């Protein structure tokens, strides 16, 4: 009998295991794939490694603006970029492989659950394991669209993109969320002809309306064509035809409409029919002491959200604290980056009682020094508290962390005005938007 069983060792699973071990719990963990889950192996880390190469390539191509002259035009080696990505992923996989098995019973096998009158049993590798508490953190998989099944060649997922040995010269990307926009940026930087197809009336529909407009501007600057309120109706001999009647050739189609939870098989009370688990937003389930965290929960699908969920679940298990839900910052790693947290303008039924403040990033001297003056910061204030922040800027991923603290700790704006921010920096935009927005 274990105190805790964790199924899936991605960000959420590893966080839960580490907290449990620090508090003296007896832990068993199950992972049938690579340690580190989606984020390390097929998501955040490998994609950001490739994005770094594309950003660096863009800077080199544009370096004359900074007074640097090249003797010849820059070129790239895609295989070397992939090798660097693999090296980074392997480095962190190795760290996990060396540390986790020494502190936890690690079962490298597929796991299934059986609930027998509130007793949770886990079956893996022809053995049965019992635990007082179980956390399912089995991650997610790309969503497949009807009529566009993944074949790993012409219709591909974001997982497939990470292992392409040659880059397509013409690509259609279905979906303008984080995955679609980031790959559009990468591919256009390396010279591909990119077209984005979005079924919603606006690009990046989850973002604040001002950020949606900025997405359009970023795509135009990168010569990326996009189609809103449109979708693919047919594909024939590499010719892609849209509902609007537009048609174009493509070497491949990247379907990037999101990911869906990858929950394990569960049976209940000896019934042969598979039980469909319905996890709640607070990570609990209809089964006592059975929790779900990370992508498997199906909410924010962000690594830092997964880590926080695991932390909150462990506080519940260890100290019987309530599982608290908080707004989580989201980042799209385009150039410039896009970041957002909390209330959006379109969430406000009436602007009465709210203040909306904005400044352009070009108001910051540092933005001109860094040749990164494109972007804006927008905050939404109610009762002297920031309730939403939306950023398009270089280092937006760092700026949004400051707003996250201000929102989480409910720090009034007049107290922020008394703080000191370094100059010149991008961080001083936080105080500038409050004072002068």
Residue 105 near residue 84 (C-beta atoms within 8 A): no
331 domain residue, yes or no: no
Q: How many CB atoms lie within 10 A of CB 33?
A: 16
Q: What's the rounded mean pLDDT across residues 201-212? A: 97
Residue 376 near residue 364 (C-beta atoms within 8 A): no
- Residue 361: CATH number of its domain: 3.30.390.30
Same domain? For 20 and 127 the reply is: yes
- The residue segments making up the domain with residue 171 are 155-257
Same domain? For 227 and 340 the reply is: no
- Residue 218: CATH number of its domain: 3.50.50.60
Q: Output the average pLDDT for the chain.
A: 94
Region for 297 from its dihedrals, namely left if φ exceeds 0, alpha if ψ lies in -120 to 50, beta otherwise: alpha
The tens digit of pLDDT for each residue in 142-160 reads 999 999 999 999 999 999 9
Write down which residue in 237, 257, 277 finishes a domain: 257
| Rg from Cα positions in the chain | 23
The tens digit of pLDDT for each residue in 415-434 reads 999 999 999 999 999 999 99
Structural tokens at position 53? 């190469």
Same domain? For 130 and 272 the reply is: yes
Q: What's the rounded mean pLDDT across residues 225-232? A: 97
Exposed (0-12), middle (13-18) or buried (19+): which is 14, by Cβ within 10 Å? buried
User: Considering Cα of 248, then 250, then 253, then 257, what sign does the dihedral take?
Assistant: negative
The tens digit of pLDDT for each residue in 113-125 reads 999 877 899 999 9
Q: How confident is the model at residue 269 (pLDDT cuts 50, 70, 90)?
A: confident
Q: What integer pLDDT is reported at residue 318 of this predicted model? A: 97
The tens digit of pLDDT for each residue in 39-69 reads 899 888 999 999 999 999 999 998 988 899 9
> Pairing state of beta strands 252-255 and 155-156?
parallel
Question: What does pTM read for this prediction?
Answer: 0.93
Same domain? For 249 and 273 the reply is: no
Give whole-number Cα distances, 286 to 68, 73, 274, 277, 280, in Å. Answer: 62, 61, 15, 8, 8
Q: What integer pLDDT is reported at residue 352 of this predicted model? A: 79
Same domain? For 123 and 6 the reply is: yes
Which residues have a Cβ under 8 Å from the Cβ of 84 and sit 6 or more positions away?
49, 53
Q: How confident is the model at residue 319 (pLDDT cuts 50, 70, 90)?
A: very high
Same domain? For 64 and 206 the reply is: no
Same domain? For 426 and 300 the reply is: no
Q: What's the rounded mean pLDDT across residues 206-215? A: 97
Cα 312 to Cα 283: distance, rounded to the nearest angstrom: 9
17 domain residue, yes or no: yes
Residue 351 has pLDDT above 80, yes or no: no
179 domain residue, yes or no: yes
Structural tokens at position 321? 């604290």
Q: What integer pLDDT is reported at residue 276 of this predicted model? A: 87
Domain count along the chain:
3
Same domain? For 135 and 114 the reply is: yes
328 domain residue, yes or no: no
- What letter would DSSP give residue 395? T
88 domain residue, yes or no: yes
Residue 120 near residue 286 (C-beta atoms within 8 A): no
Q: What integer pLDDT is reported at residue 431 of this predicted model? A: 95
Write down which residue in 214, 233, 257 finishes a domain: 257
Q: How confident is the model at residue 212 (pLDDT cuts 50, 70, 90)?
A: very high
Q: What integer pLDDT is reported at residue 116 of this predicted model? A: 86
Selection from 140, 134, 139, 138 nearest residue 287 by Cα: 134
Same domain? For 163 and 249 the reply is: yes
Same domain? For 279 and 237 the reply is: no
29 domain residue, yes or no: yes
The structure tokens 């770094």 sit at 52
Q: What is the DSSP string of 397-428?
A: HHHHHHHHHHHHTT--HHHHTTS---SSSSTT
Give the side-chain half-sphere CA count within 13 A for 102. Answer: 5
Q: What integer pLDDT is reported at residue 268 of this predicted model? A: 86
Residue 390 near residue 346 (C-beta atoms within 8 A): no
329 domain residue, yes or no: no
Residue 102 has pLDDT above 90, yes or no: no
Write down which residue in 257, 275, 308 finishes a domain: 257
Does residue 38 or residue 413 have the better pLDDT?
413
- Beta partners for residue 7, in sequence order: 30, 136
The tens digit of pLDDT for each residue in 68-82 reads 998 888 999 999 999
Q: What integer pLDDT is reported at residue 111 of this predicted model? A: 95
The CA dihedral of 7, 12, 14, 20, to the nearest 10 degrees, is -90
Q: What integer pLDDT is reported at residue 391 of this predicted model? A: 98
Q: How many CB atoms lie within 10 A of CB 63?
A: 14
Q: How many CB atoms lie within 10 A of CB 313?
A: 26
Which residues have a Cβ under 8 Å from the Cβ of 331 and sit 6 or more positions away?
178, 337, 338, 339, 396, 397, 400
Q: What integer pLDDT is reported at residue 45 of this predicted model? A: 93
Residue 295 near residue 259 (C-beta atoms within 8 A): yes
Cα 278 to Cα 406: distance, rounded to the nearest angstrom: 33
Same domain? For 218 and 162 the reply is: yes
Q: Please give the share of the chain, as a percent, with pLDDT higher than 70.
A: 100
Structural tokens at position 133? 């508490």
Run of H or E residues at 50: helix 44-61
User: Considering Cα of 49, then 18, then 321, then 406, what sign does the dihedral take?
Assistant: negative
Selection from 206, 205, 203 nearest residue 225 by Cα: 203
Residue 141 near residue 259 (C-beta atoms within 8 A): yes
Region for 383 from its dihedrals, namely left if φ exceeds 0, alpha if ψ lies in -120 to 50, beta otherwise: left
Same domain? For 249 and 223 the reply is: yes
Residue 272 has pLDDT above 80, yes or no: no
Residue 273 has pLDDT above 80, yes or no: no
């Amino acid at each position: 009998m274990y105190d805790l069983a964790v199924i899936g060792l991605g960000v959420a699973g590893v966080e839960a295991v580490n907290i449990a071990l620090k508090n003296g719990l007896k832990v068993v963990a199950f992972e049938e794939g690579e340690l580190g889950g989606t984020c390390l192996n097929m998501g955040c880390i490998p994609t950001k490694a490739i994005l770094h190469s594309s950003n660096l390539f863009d800077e080199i191509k544009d370096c004359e603006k900074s007074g640097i002259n090249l003797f010849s035009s820059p070129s790239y080696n895609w295989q070397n970029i992939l090798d660097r990505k693999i090296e980074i992923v392997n480095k962190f996989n190795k760290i996990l492989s060396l540390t986790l098995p020494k502190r936890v019973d690690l079962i490298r096998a597929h796991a299934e659950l059986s609930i027998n009158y509130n007793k949770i049993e886990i079956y893996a590798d022809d053995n049965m394991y019992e635990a007082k508490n179980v956390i399912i953190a089995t991650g997610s998989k790309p969503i497949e669209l009807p009529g566009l099944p993944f074949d790993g060649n012409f219709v591909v997922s974001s997982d497939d993109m990470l292992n392409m040995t040659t880059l397509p010269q013409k690509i259609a990307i279905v979906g303008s969320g984080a995955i679609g926009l980031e790959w559009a940026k990468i591919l256009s930087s390396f010279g591909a002809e990119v077209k984005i197809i979005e079924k919603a009336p606006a690009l990046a529909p989850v973002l604040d309306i001002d950020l949606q407009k900025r997405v359009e501007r970023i795509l135009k600057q990168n010569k990326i064509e996009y189609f809103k309120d449109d979708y693919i109706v047919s594909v024939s001999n590499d010719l892609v035809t849209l509902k609007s009647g537009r048609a174009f050739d493509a070497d491949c189609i990247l379907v990037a409409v999101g990911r869906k939870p990858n929950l394990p098989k569960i049976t209940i009370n000896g019934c042969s029919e598979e039980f469909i688990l319905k996890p709640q937003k607070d990570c609990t389930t209809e089964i006592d002491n059975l929790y779900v965290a990370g992508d498997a929960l199906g909410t924010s699908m962000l690594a830092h959200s997964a880590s926080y969920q695991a932390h909150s679940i462990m506080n519940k298990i260890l100290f019987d604290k309530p599982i608290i839900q908080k707004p989580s910052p989201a980042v799209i790693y385009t150039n410039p980056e896009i970041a957002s947290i909390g209330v959006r303008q379109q969430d406000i039924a009436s602007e009465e009682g709210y203040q909306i403040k904005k400044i352009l990033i070009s108001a910051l001297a540092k933005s001109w020094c860094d040749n990164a003056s494109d972007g804006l910061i927008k905050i939404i204030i109610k009762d002297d508290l920031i309730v939403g922040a939306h950023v398009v800027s270089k280092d937006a991923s760092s700026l949004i962390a400051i707003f996250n603290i201000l929102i989480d700790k409910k720090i009034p704006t007049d107290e922020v005005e008394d703080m000191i921010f370094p100059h010149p920096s991008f961080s001083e935009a936080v105080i500038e938007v409050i004072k002068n927005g």
